[in-house]
Structure 1
Amino acid sequence: MPKVIVSGLSVSIDGFAAGPQQSLHDPLGIRGLELHEWFFENKQNPAMTGATAISAQVDERVAQRAMDGFGSFVLGRNMFGPNRGEWGDDSWKGWWGDDPPWRAPTFILTHFPRPPIEMEGGTTFYFVTTGIFEALERAKKAAGAKNVKIGGGVSTVRQYVKAGLVDELQLSISPTFLGQGESLFPGLDFPALGFSIVERAIGAHAMHITLSKNC
């Protein structure tokens, strides 16, 4: 049965999943890129030996799983871009250029309507003004037999988890303290929401844990 999954979400030791003051210069907020070293390090320095190579393979496997097998995606407005309010001239089409990595129907939560945008590689952005439930229903229909990924940002993930709409969370705990930013955990009682840790693995640059709803 298809699932609703949060995957590849990086979190600092002190619980921040994004840095403060997101901007065009800092898409992940100030110092937010540090949370994703486990993802980018393997791309930049693939040659490793011994135990480090094994740990790097863990990070690589998690990075691949974070994007594979999804039939649609749901993103918050902040995940799509730094601009706020009305869309203006509609020139902004996301952080990712003409060929975004999603390559499936992608539903953007927003208060401001905008026509769909067809991109290269199979991505079409749909802008949903009617809330998280409507966006998820549309994403499920678009995904068919495949899973739906709640792709962030932090506020979007928190809303879906609090509403009991997420089946599985795959978190990557990065060995860094941000001190400030967007916190993931306050007010989220994962055991009370029915989650338990079902998988854990230590990578070269992060500890990866999977939380799943109890059967």
Structure 2
Amino acid sequence: MSKLVVRAFSLSLDGYGAGPDQSLDNPLGVNGKKLHEWAFATRTFQKMFGQDSGETGVDEDFAARSFENIGAWILGRNMFGPVRGPWPDENWKGWWGDTPPYHVPTFVLTHHARAPIEMKGGTVFHFVTDGIEVALEQARAAAGGKDVRVGGGVSTIQQYLRAGLIDEMHLAMSPVLLGKGENLFAGIDLPALGYRCTERVPTANTTHLMIVKG
């Protein structure tokens, strides 16, 4: 059965999934890039940027697993770009250039309608204005029985958590303190929502946590 999953989502030790003040120069917020250093070094992520290199080992294993059996993605508006409010034009097509790393239908939550964008490599961005449940319904239909991955950001994951719709999460807790930004756990009572940690795997660069519902 298709699952709704969060995978390879990096957090600071104090629970922040992004730094403050996201901008074109800081797409992950100030100091947010530090959260993802474990991933940037892996073979999976190096390959995404056209490099035939990268580390193997436990971090690579989790990075590779994060893309397995994914038939569709869901992203918040901030994950798609820094543009706020109504779309001023059709020029902004994401942070990733002509070939985004998704390669499947990808559903972007927004309050402002926009026509779908077909990109190279199989990614098609669909813009959903009717809320998280409709986005999930459309993503599941597009996924064809495979899993749907919520890529973020923090606010989007929180909405799906509060609704009890996420089946499992892989969080990568990096040895970094941000102090401010977007805190994934703010206002979230995971045990009360039925979530529990089933796996903890430390490495030199992060600690991988598997959290499941039920």
Which TM bucket (shorter chain)?
over 0.9
Alignment correspondent of 1:11 = 11
Question: 1:57·1:203 contact (CA, 8 Å) conserved in 2?
Answer: no
* 8 Å Cα contact 2:172/2:206 also seen in 1: yes
Q: What corresponds to 2:153 in structure 1?
A: 153
In the alignment, structure 1 segments of 5+ residues that lack a partner are 48-55
SS at match of 2:145: coil
Instruction: List aligned pairs for 1:42-191, cutoff 5 A.
Output: 42-43=42-43, 46=54, 57-191=57-191
Poorly superposed stretches of 4+, deviation over 4 Å:
43-47
Structure 1 residue matching 2:169: 3-state secondary structure: strand
Shift of 1:46: 4.2
TM-score (norm 1): 0.92
Q: How far has the Cα of 1:204 moved from its partner?
A: 2.3
How far the C-alpha of 1:8 sits from its partner, in A, is 0.8
How big is the shift at 1:197? Answer: 1.1
Secondary structure at the aligned position of 1:108 is classed as strand
Q: Distance in 2 between matches of 1:121 and 1:9?
A: 23
Instruction: Tell me by how many angstroms 1:64 deviates.
Output: 1.4
> Residue 92 of structure 1: SS of its match in structure 2?
coil
CA RMSD of aligned residues (A): 1.3
> CA 1:139–1:46 in 2, change beyond 3 Å: closer, same or farther?
closer
CA distance in 1, matches of 2:97, 2:67: 17
SS in 1 for 2:172: strand
Does the CA-based 8 Å contact 1:172-1:209 persist in structure 2?
yes
User: Which ranges of structure 2 fall in alignment gaps of 5 or more residues?
Assistant: 47-52
Secondary structure of the corresponding residue to residue 42 of structure 2: helix
SS in 2 for 1:169: strand
One-letter amino acid of the counterpart of residue 102, structure 1: Y
CA distance in 2, matches of 1:149, 1:82: 21
In the other structure, the counterpart of 1:203 is 203
SS in 1 for 2:170: strand
Give the distance between the partners of 2:202 and 2:70, measured in 1 at CA: 24
